[in-house]
Chains A and B, each alone.
Chain A
Amino acid sequence: MSCADRQARIDAHLDGELEVLASMEMEAHLKACPACAQVYANHQALREALSGAALSYRAPVALRRRIRAALPSRGESEAARPWMLGRWLGLAAAMAVAIILAVVLIPARRGPSIDDLLAQEVVSSHIRSLMGAHLTDVPSSDQHTVKPWFDGKLDFAPPVRDLAGQGYPLVGGRLDYLNGRPVAALIYQRRQHFINLFIWPAQAGVSDALARAAPRQGYNLLHWAQGGMVFWAVSDVNPDDLGEFSSWVKSTPR
């Protein structure tokens, strides 16, 4: 394969989209060919420039409101009124049925449903943290600032590590409430995306295995236990990035 044919594959390599063998071949070629190595280095520099400059736009609040108002369940249009009542009654009836079912069924199915409920709590908490101006209580990329901040606020000391060198800079920490207890939330950034990492002490007998919970509302979830702590990571980064992130969190010394 000539260098000209390789051009696009350099990008695929940078983007982690090459198969293992092709990726190894590319690694070897980049070591041997200064021209291609320069292209690769330039692409990396460009990526850094793109992620360093805050280029993403966020939807204005007014637009968010207009879109929510346009959803049928929240619609305020006059024409909708007469049959809205019927729909609300229907909804009320369905909720009553759901509550009865929940009361009857939930105690019967422990096990997976607890993780399920927790996953929902984690996602809700993640979304809430991104909605307002309350992503961090202690905005700092310095682990030596974030870690002591939790002293006296929690009855445990969460492990805090900046992962900027690995592509996941620490943004800060926050106190949150999950699973019926106060927990530490560490916020990391991946390009324009945020990752919430929730940490609290594990109960005895919690498995250390890495588990991937089903994506919810477009967010990916990973949870594991290590060193007596439970970790839940949630983000809209792709599952591979989240997997890589979790392995960095697991492998960094404390």
Chain B
Amino acid sequence: MQEQEQSARFELEVVPHLDAAYNLARWLTRNDHDAEDVVQEAFLRALRFFGGFRGGDARAWLLKIVRNTCYTWLDKNRAKDTPAVFDEEVHSEETSSDDPEKLVLRGSDERMVRQALEELPEQFREALVLRELEGLSYKEIAEVAGISIGTVMSRLSRARLRLEKALAGNVGKER
């Protein structure tokens, strides 16, 4: 009976966030098929851990599981495909905002924006997807990503500067 109830509660509280789960997984894996596998795996995990979920923000709770499942999956696949991981965080030049130039975005070229966001390093992509697409608060993002609110703030800041730089670069190239 208890299992029955728990399953009903899971369906009411967790399943409605399936789109959010898929959106995050799709942006992190950058592939439809992988995102489906990750989300299915994450839901199985969520169902298993649901007994330990003591109410609160079910969406953040689920997204945290989805995120962790994504990274486990990405690590496994990277190990197979690309043994030498290029750590973009360490190697790429830091984006500075000294003397910022005005960002010119023509209309909203969806393909360009999508591509630029896809090319951001994971942790920046993740922060922007959670904030701008899912509308999570800093506190929720901190919970999902397992980082402090201060780190959320600085990650979003760097993510935005990088994305702006990438988009400004693309605009320049196309002209």
Q: Mark B22-47, 1 if CB is under 8 A from A, else 0.
A: 11001100001001100110011001
Is A67's CB under 8 angstroms from B18's CB? yes
- CA–CA, A8 and B4, complex, Å: 46
CB distance from A149 to the nearest CB of B (A): 28
A-chain residues with CB within 8 Å of residue B128 when the two chains form the complex: 50
CB distance from B169 to the nearest CB of A (A): 14
Instruction: Say whether A223 faces chain B, with CB atoms less than 8 Å apart.
Output: no
CB distance from B134 to the nearest CB of A (A): 7
Report which of A54, A59, A127 forms a contact with B22, defined as CB distance below 8 A: A59
> What is the interface residue range for chain A against chain B?
35 or more
Instruction: Say whether B58 faces chain A, with CB atoms less than 8 Å apart.
Output: yes
> Which stretch of A11-19, A107-115, A137-145, A198-206 is in the interface?
A11-19
Is B44's CB under 8 angstroms from A90's CB? no
Report which of B1, B98, B138, B164 forms a contact with A12, defined as CB distance below 8 A: B138
Is A217's CB under 8 angstroms from B4's CB? no
- CA–CA, A243 and B35, complex, Å: 33
Is B102's CB under 8 angstroms from A55's CB? no
A-chain residues with CB within 8 Å of residue B153 when the two chains form the complex: 8-9, 11-12, 17
A-chain residues with CB within 8 Å of residue B137 when the two chains form the complex: 17, 238, 240
Instruction: Say whether B21 faces chain A, with CB atoms less than 8 Å apart.
Output: yes
Instruction: Say whether B71 faces chain A, with CB atoms less than 8 Å apart.
Output: no
> What is the interface residue range for chain B against chain A?
35 or more
Instruction: Say whether A29 faces chain B, with CB atoms less than 8 Å apart.
Output: no
> Which stretch of A153-161, A174-182, A186-194 is in the interface?
A186-194
- CA–CA, A200 and B5, complex, Å: 35
Show the binding face of A for B, using Cβ within 8 Å: 4, 7-12, 15, 17, 35, 38-39, 41-43, 45-60, 62-64, 66-68, 70-73, 87, 90-91, 94, 127, 190-193, 217-219, 236-238, 240-241
**CB pairs A–B below 8 angstroms (24 shown):** A8-B154, A8-B156, A9-B153, A39-B97, A41-B103, A42-B103, A46-B163, A50-B128, A52-B107, A54-B110, A55-B133, A56-B133, A59-B19, A60-B22, A60-B32, A67-B43, A68-B15, A71-B7, A87-B1, A90-B1, A191-B132, A217-B12, A219-B16, A238-B137
8 additional contacts (CB under 8 A) given A58-B23, A64-B18: A35-B98, A41-B103, A42-B103, A42-B160, A46-B167, A49-B167, A238-B135, A241-B135
